[in-house]
Amino acid sequence: MKNAYIDQLLDRLADGEKMTDTKLILTRAYQAPAYTRYGFICVNDALHGAEKAAALAQQLSMAGINELYITGEWGNQFEAWMALDSFGLELRGIRRIMNAEYYQDIERWGDSDRPNELLALKFSFKEESK
């Protein structure tokens, strides 16, 4: 699943350009097994403050990505989550998602000490159709 916007960020990063924290968070999530295997943008980083969360929501919007999964278990993130919500990236619930790193370990080593599923907060710009 290619994304032209994030690919451009990666090219600029490879050329030595400095990136904001939120652009780095997005590029790491794009290169992570959860995206390459399942198309999930998963963030395990703490989003310190509303400004960083709002900037991440803006980056997701610019990349045309409608969903974000927060897999980190950081405390005191309510301000960040409210900022995501106020920019239209609404909390849609808690989900179990497949842990791509678990399956990557299984394929590579035949075993893994990671859980096969992760709990994640699901944020989305679009309401799910029922």
Provide the pLDDT for residue 126: 82
CB within 8 Å of 75: residues ≥ 6 apart? none
d(CA 71, CA 41): 10
Task: Name the pTM for this structure.
Answer: 0.81
Residue 12, SS3?
helix
Average pLDDT over residues 78-105: 90
Question: Tens digits of per-residue pLDDT, 8-67?
Answer: 999 999 999 999 999 999 999 999 999 999 999 999 888 888 898 999 999 999 999 999
Question: Tens digits of per-residue pLDDT, 69-88?
Answer: 998 877 778 888 888 888 88
Q: pLDDT exceeding 90 applies to what percent of the chain?
A: 69
**Tokens coding 103:** 């399956």
Contact 38, 4 (CB under 8 A): no
**Tokens coding 130:** 């029922």
Kindly list the domain boundaries of the chain, sorted by start residue: 4-124
* pLDDT confidence bin for 4, thresholds 50/70/90: very high
Q: Is the pLDDT of residue 130 over 70?
A: no
Instruction: Tell me which H or E stretch contains 117.
Output: strand 117-124
d(CA 83, CA 81): 5
Provide the pLDDT for residue 46: 81
